[in-house]
Amino acid sequence: MTSAAGKLGHAVRGGGVTPVLAAAFLWGTVGPAQILATSSASPVAIGACRMLLGGFVLGLFTARRAGIRTVWQRNTRWWTLVSILVTAVFQACFLEAVARGGAALATAVTFGTVPAVTGVCGRILAGERLSGPWVCGTACAVGGIALLLVPADGAPADSMGVLLGMIAGASFGVYISATKQLGDRGADTAAAAPTSVFCAGILVSPWALAHPDGLTEPRSLVLIGWLALATTALGYLLFTWGVGRISGATVGTLSLAEPLVSTALGVALLGERPGPSAVADAVLLLGGLVLVSAPALRRRRPVGPAQR
Protein backbone atom coordinates (compact mmCIF):
# COMPACT_ATOMS: atom_id res chain seq x y z
CA MET A 1 0.00 0.00 0.00
CA THR A 2 2.77 2.41 0.87
CA SER A 3 4.48 1.73 -2.48
CA ALA A 4 1.30 2.68 -4.35
CA ALA A 5 1.01 5.86 -2.32
CA GLY A 6 4.67 6.57 -2.99
CA LYS A 7 4.20 6.28 -6.76
CA LEU A 8 1.26 8.68 -6.67
CA GLY A 9 3.22 11.04 -4.47
CA HIS A 10 6.14 11.00 -6.91
CA ALA A 11 3.79 11.83 -9.77
CA VAL A 12 2.49 14.99 -8.10
CA ARG A 13 5.58 16.01 -6.16
CA GLY A 14 6.67 18.58 -8.74
CA GLY A 15 4.29 21.20 -7.34
CA GLY A 16 1.26 21.78 -5.21
CA VAL A 17 -1.18 23.20 -7.74
CA THR A 18 -1.98 19.96 -9.62
CA PRO A 19 -2.79 17.75 -6.59
CA VAL A 20 -4.84 20.48 -4.90
CA LEU A 21 -6.85 20.98 -8.09
CA ALA A 22 -7.34 17.22 -8.42
CA ALA A 23 -8.59 17.07 -4.83
CA ALA A 24 -10.95 19.97 -5.51
CA PHE A 25 -12.30 18.10 -8.55
CA LEU A 26 -13.10 15.04 -6.42
CA TRP A 27 -14.65 17.16 -3.69
CA GLY A 28 -16.80 18.85 -6.33
CA THR A 29 -18.64 15.56 -6.79
CA VAL A 30 -19.85 15.45 -3.17
CA GLY A 31 -22.97 17.58 -3.58
CA PRO A 32 -24.16 16.05 -6.87
CA ALA A 33 -23.53 12.53 -5.52
CA GLN A 34 -25.58 13.31 -2.42
CA ILE A 35 -28.49 14.55 -4.52
CA LEU A 36 -28.28 11.68 -7.03
CA ALA A 37 -28.33 9.13 -4.23
CA THR A 38 -31.61 10.54 -2.85
CA SER A 39 -30.82 8.84 0.44
CA SER A 40 -33.25 9.21 3.32
CA ALA A 41 -30.38 9.07 5.83
CA SER A 42 -29.37 12.15 7.81
CA PRO A 43 -26.62 14.14 6.04
CA VAL A 44 -24.72 14.41 9.33
CA ALA A 45 -24.92 10.63 9.86
CA ILE A 46 -23.64 10.06 6.31
CA GLY A 47 -20.81 12.49 7.03
CA ALA A 48 -19.85 10.56 10.15
CA CYS A 49 -19.70 7.28 8.23
CA ARG A 50 -17.75 8.98 5.44
CA MET A 51 -15.13 10.25 7.88
CA LEU A 52 -14.77 6.98 9.79
CA LEU A 53 -14.34 4.82 6.68
CA GLY A 54 -12.43 7.39 4.66
CA GLY A 55 -10.09 8.26 7.51
CA PHE A 56 -9.37 4.58 8.16
CA VAL A 57 -8.57 3.83 4.50
CA LEU A 58 -6.50 6.99 4.18
CA GLY A 59 -4.54 5.99 7.26
CA LEU A 60 -3.77 2.58 5.75
CA PHE A 61 -2.02 4.28 2.84
CA THR A 62 -0.32 7.19 4.55
CA ALA A 63 -0.06 6.89 8.33
CA ARG A 64 2.98 5.48 10.07
CA ARG A 65 3.36 5.01 13.82
CA ALA A 66 6.24 7.50 13.96
CA GLY A 67 4.23 9.98 11.91
CA ILE A 68 1.20 9.71 14.18
CA ARG A 69 3.42 10.48 17.17
CA THR A 70 4.50 13.73 15.52
CA VAL A 71 0.94 15.07 15.37
CA TRP A 72 0.49 14.58 19.12
CA GLN A 73 3.78 16.05 20.31
CA ARG A 74 3.72 19.09 22.55
CA ASN A 75 4.11 21.77 19.87
CA THR A 76 1.58 20.22 17.46
CA ARG A 77 -1.19 18.64 19.53
CA TRP A 78 -3.30 21.81 19.78
CA TRP A 79 -3.25 22.28 16.01
CA THR A 80 -4.22 18.63 15.63
CA LEU A 81 -7.21 19.21 17.92
CA VAL A 82 -8.15 22.31 15.90
CA SER A 83 -7.98 20.33 12.66
CA ILE A 84 -10.19 17.57 14.13
CA LEU A 85 -12.80 20.05 15.34
CA VAL A 86 -13.03 22.04 12.10
CA THR A 87 -13.11 18.83 10.03
CA ALA A 88 -16.15 17.67 12.01
CA VAL A 89 -17.84 21.06 11.65
CA PHE A 90 -17.11 21.18 7.93
CA GLN A 91 -18.57 17.74 7.21
CA ALA A 92 -21.72 18.30 9.21
CA CYS A 93 -22.42 21.81 7.92
CA PHE A 94 -21.53 21.19 4.27
CA LEU A 95 -23.68 18.09 3.77
CA GLU A 96 -26.58 19.77 5.56
CA ALA A 97 -26.11 22.88 3.39
CA VAL A 98 -26.31 20.70 0.26
CA ALA A 99 -29.51 19.08 1.54
CA ARG A 100 -31.06 22.51 2.17
CA GLY A 101 -29.84 24.61 -0.73
CA GLY A 102 -28.74 22.20 -3.44
CA ALA A 103 -25.32 21.19 -4.67
CA ALA A 104 -24.43 24.26 -6.73
CA LEU A 105 -25.45 26.89 -4.16
CA ALA A 106 -23.97 25.10 -1.13
CA THR A 107 -20.68 24.34 -2.88
CA ALA A 108 -20.27 27.83 -4.29
CA VAL A 109 -21.00 29.56 -0.97
CA THR A 110 -18.73 27.18 0.94
CA PHE A 111 -15.73 27.39 -1.33
CA GLY A 112 -16.23 31.02 -2.14
CA THR A 113 -15.70 31.64 1.59
CA VAL A 114 -12.51 29.57 1.82
CA PRO A 115 -10.03 31.93 0.06
CA ALA A 116 -10.77 34.91 2.29
CA VAL A 117 -10.40 32.80 5.45
CA THR A 118 -7.17 31.10 4.35
CA GLY A 119 -5.66 34.39 3.24
CA VAL A 120 -6.40 36.10 6.55
CA CYS A 121 -5.22 33.07 8.57
CA GLY A 122 -2.01 32.87 6.53
CA ARG A 123 -1.38 36.55 7.13
CA ILE A 124 -1.99 36.31 10.89
CA LEU A 125 -0.29 32.98 11.57
CA ALA A 126 2.57 32.89 9.06
CA GLY A 127 2.98 36.46 7.89
CA GLU A 128 2.12 35.49 4.31
CA ARG A 129 1.81 38.42 1.95
CA LEU A 130 -1.63 38.86 0.44
CA SER A 131 -0.56 39.08 -3.19
CA GLY A 132 -2.31 40.88 -6.01
CA PRO A 133 -3.49 37.60 -7.61
CA TRP A 134 -4.94 36.50 -4.26
CA VAL A 135 -6.82 39.77 -3.85
CA CYS A 136 -8.19 39.55 -7.40
CA GLY A 137 -9.09 35.86 -7.05
CA THR A 138 -10.84 36.47 -3.75
CA ALA A 139 -12.72 39.43 -5.23
CA CYS A 140 -13.90 37.11 -8.00
CA ALA A 141 -15.10 34.62 -5.37
CA VAL A 142 -17.02 37.26 -3.44
CA GLY A 143 -18.63 38.45 -6.66
CA GLY A 144 -19.51 34.88 -7.56
CA ILE A 145 -21.21 34.27 -4.22
CA ALA A 146 -23.15 37.50 -4.57
CA LEU A 147 -24.43 36.41 -7.96
CA LEU A 148 -25.45 33.00 -6.68
CA LEU A 149 -27.48 34.61 -3.93
CA VAL A 150 -29.55 36.56 -6.44
CA PRO A 151 -33.06 34.99 -6.29
CA ALA A 152 -33.83 32.80 -9.28
CA ASP A 153 -37.37 33.23 -10.67
CA GLY A 154 -38.32 35.21 -7.57
CA ALA A 155 -37.35 32.42 -5.15
CA PRO A 156 -34.87 33.53 -2.45
CA ALA A 157 -31.98 31.29 -1.47
CA ASP A 158 -32.33 29.21 1.70
CA SER A 159 -30.77 31.51 4.31
CA MET A 160 -29.89 28.68 6.70
CA GLY A 161 -28.30 26.74 3.85
CA VAL A 162 -26.19 29.79 2.97
CA LEU A 163 -25.17 30.26 6.61
CA LEU A 164 -24.20 26.60 6.97
CA GLY A 165 -22.21 26.83 3.74
CA MET A 166 -20.30 29.85 5.03
CA ILE A 167 -19.56 28.07 8.33
CA ALA A 168 -18.35 25.05 6.37
CA GLY A 169 -16.14 27.28 4.21
CA ALA A 170 -14.65 29.03 7.22
CA SER A 171 -13.97 25.65 8.84
CA PHE A 172 -12.17 24.36 5.75
CA GLY A 173 -10.14 27.56 5.56
CA VAL A 174 -9.01 27.06 9.15
CA TYR A 175 -8.24 23.40 8.34
CA ILE A 176 -5.89 24.49 5.56
CA SER A 177 -4.08 26.84 7.93
CA ALA A 178 -3.93 24.21 10.69
CA THR A 179 -2.42 21.69 8.26
CA LYS A 180 0.28 24.17 7.27
CA GLN A 181 0.99 24.95 10.93
CA LEU A 182 1.39 21.23 11.65
CA GLY A 183 3.85 20.87 8.76
CA ASP A 184 5.82 23.93 9.85
CA ARG A 185 6.12 22.48 13.36
CA GLY A 186 7.57 19.19 12.13
CA ALA A 187 4.42 17.06 12.10
CA ASP A 188 3.99 14.43 9.42
CA THR A 189 1.10 15.88 7.39
CA ALA A 190 0.56 12.48 5.75
CA ALA A 191 -0.41 11.21 9.21
CA ALA A 192 -2.22 14.40 10.21
CA ALA A 193 -4.90 14.06 7.51
CA PRO A 194 -6.20 10.58 8.47
CA THR A 195 -5.91 11.49 12.15
CA SER A 196 -8.08 14.57 11.64
CA VAL A 197 -10.64 12.81 9.46
CA PHE A 198 -10.99 9.63 11.52
CA CYS A 199 -11.10 11.42 14.89
CA ALA A 200 -13.64 13.88 13.48
CA GLY A 201 -15.73 10.85 12.49
CA ILE A 202 -15.56 9.58 16.06
CA LEU A 203 -16.60 13.04 17.27
CA VAL A 204 -19.70 13.06 15.04
CA SER A 205 -20.52 9.33 15.37
CA PRO A 206 -22.98 9.80 18.30
CA TRP A 207 -25.27 11.58 15.83
CA ALA A 208 -25.11 8.59 13.48
CA LEU A 209 -25.90 6.24 16.37
CA ALA A 210 -28.84 8.40 17.39
CA HIS A 211 -30.15 8.78 13.81
CA PRO A 212 -29.36 5.48 12.01
CA ASP A 213 -32.46 5.52 9.78
CA GLY A 214 -31.66 4.98 6.13
CA LEU A 215 -27.95 4.28 6.57
CA THR A 216 -28.28 0.66 5.44
CA GLU A 217 -30.20 1.48 2.26
CA PRO A 218 -28.29 0.44 -0.91
CA ARG A 219 -28.28 4.06 -2.11
CA SER A 220 -26.84 5.22 1.20
CA LEU A 221 -24.13 2.54 1.15
CA VAL A 222 -23.08 3.45 -2.39
CA LEU A 223 -23.02 7.13 -1.45
CA ILE A 224 -20.95 6.48 1.66
CA GLY A 225 -18.55 4.31 -0.35
CA TRP A 226 -17.96 7.03 -2.95
CA LEU A 227 -17.66 9.81 -0.38
CA ALA A 228 -15.31 7.79 1.83
CA LEU A 229 -13.00 6.20 -0.74
CA ALA A 230 -12.87 8.73 -3.60
CA THR A 231 -13.61 12.12 -2.10
CA THR A 232 -12.10 11.52 1.35
CA ALA A 233 -9.28 8.95 1.12
CA LEU A 234 -8.00 9.90 -2.35
CA GLY A 235 -9.04 13.56 -2.08
CA TYR A 236 -7.23 14.18 1.20
CA LEU A 237 -4.24 12.17 -0.03
CA LEU A 238 -3.83 14.54 -2.98
CA PHE A 239 -4.60 17.60 -0.90
CA THR A 240 -2.01 16.69 1.75
CA TRP A 241 0.74 16.37 -0.86
CA GLY A 242 -0.16 19.71 -2.39
CA VAL A 243 -0.93 21.93 0.59
CA GLY A 244 2.65 22.08 1.90
CA ARG A 245 4.07 23.31 -1.40
CA ILE A 246 2.04 26.47 -1.97
CA SER A 247 0.76 29.27 0.25
CA GLY A 248 -2.41 28.92 2.25
CA ALA A 249 -4.01 31.80 0.32
CA THR A 250 -3.26 30.04 -2.97
CA VAL A 251 -4.68 26.74 -1.69
CA GLY A 252 -7.84 28.49 -0.61
CA THR A 253 -8.39 30.10 -3.97
CA LEU A 254 -7.58 26.92 -5.91
CA SER A 255 -10.41 25.28 -3.96
CA LEU A 256 -12.74 27.41 -6.10
CA ALA A 257 -12.45 24.62 -8.67
CA GLU A 258 -14.87 22.65 -6.51
CA PRO A 259 -17.99 24.77 -7.21
CA LEU A 260 -17.12 24.78 -10.91
CA VAL A 261 -17.09 20.97 -10.94
CA SER A 262 -20.26 20.80 -8.88
CA THR A 263 -22.07 23.19 -11.22
CA ALA A 264 -20.89 21.31 -14.32
CA LEU A 265 -22.10 18.01 -12.87
CA GLY A 266 -25.38 19.63 -11.91
CA VAL A 267 -25.93 20.60 -15.54
CA ALA A 268 -24.80 17.26 -16.97
CA LEU A 269 -26.33 14.84 -14.45
CA LEU A 270 -29.02 16.67 -12.50
CA GLY A 271 -30.61 18.59 -15.35
CA GLU A 272 -29.92 21.96 -13.76
CA ARG A 273 -30.07 24.88 -16.16
CA PRO A 274 -28.05 27.83 -14.86
CA GLY A 275 -29.30 31.30 -15.64
CA PRO A 276 -27.22 34.30 -16.68
CA SER A 277 -26.11 35.04 -13.11
CA ALA A 278 -24.86 31.46 -12.64
CA VAL A 279 -22.92 31.66 -15.91
CA ALA A 280 -21.37 34.95 -14.82
CA ASP A 281 -20.54 33.32 -11.47
CA ALA A 282 -18.71 30.46 -13.23
CA VAL A 283 -16.73 32.98 -15.28
CA LEU A 284 -15.72 34.86 -12.12
CA LEU A 285 -14.65 31.66 -10.32
CA LEU A 286 -12.69 30.45 -13.35
CA GLY A 287 -11.02 33.85 -13.61
CA GLY A 288 -9.96 33.61 -9.98
CA LEU A 289 -8.47 30.17 -10.62
CA VAL A 290 -6.45 31.43 -13.57
CA LEU A 291 -5.17 34.45 -11.65
CA VAL A 292 -3.96 32.33 -8.75
CA SER A 293 -2.82 29.19 -10.58
CA ALA A 294 -0.60 30.81 -13.19
CA PRO A 295 1.84 32.52 -10.75
CA ALA A 296 1.91 29.41 -8.53
CA LEU A 297 2.80 27.19 -11.47
CA ARG A 298 5.67 29.50 -12.43
CA ARG A 299 7.11 29.61 -8.91
CA ARG A 300 7.23 26.11 -7.50
CA ARG A 301 8.80 26.03 -4.09
CA PRO A 302 11.47 23.42 -3.28
CA VAL A 303 10.23 20.59 -1.11
CA GLY A 304 11.84 20.64 2.33
CA PRO A 305 12.42 17.63 4.58
CA ALA A 306 9.32 18.38 6.65
CA GLN A 307 7.19 18.33 3.52
CA ARG A 308 8.30 15.00 2.12
Any idea where the domains of the chain sit in the sequence? 17-300
Q: What is the mean pLDDT of each run of 10 residues along the chain (308 residues)?
A: 45 67 90 89 94 94 88 94 96 89 78 79 81 76 69 65 88 90 89 93 93 93 95 89 74 73 78 65 65 53 37
Element (H, E) at 215: none
Q: pLDDT (tens digit, 9 = 90+) per residue, 38-87?
A: 889 999 999 999 999 999 999 998 888 899 999 999 999 999 999 999 99
Contacts of 134 (CB under 8 A, 6+ apart): 115, 119, 249, 250, 253, 292
Nearest to 134 by CA among 117, 146, 109: 117
Mind listing the pLDDT tens digit for each residue in 142-168? 777 676 666 655 565 677 888 898 899
Give me Rg for the CA atoms of the chain. Answer: 18
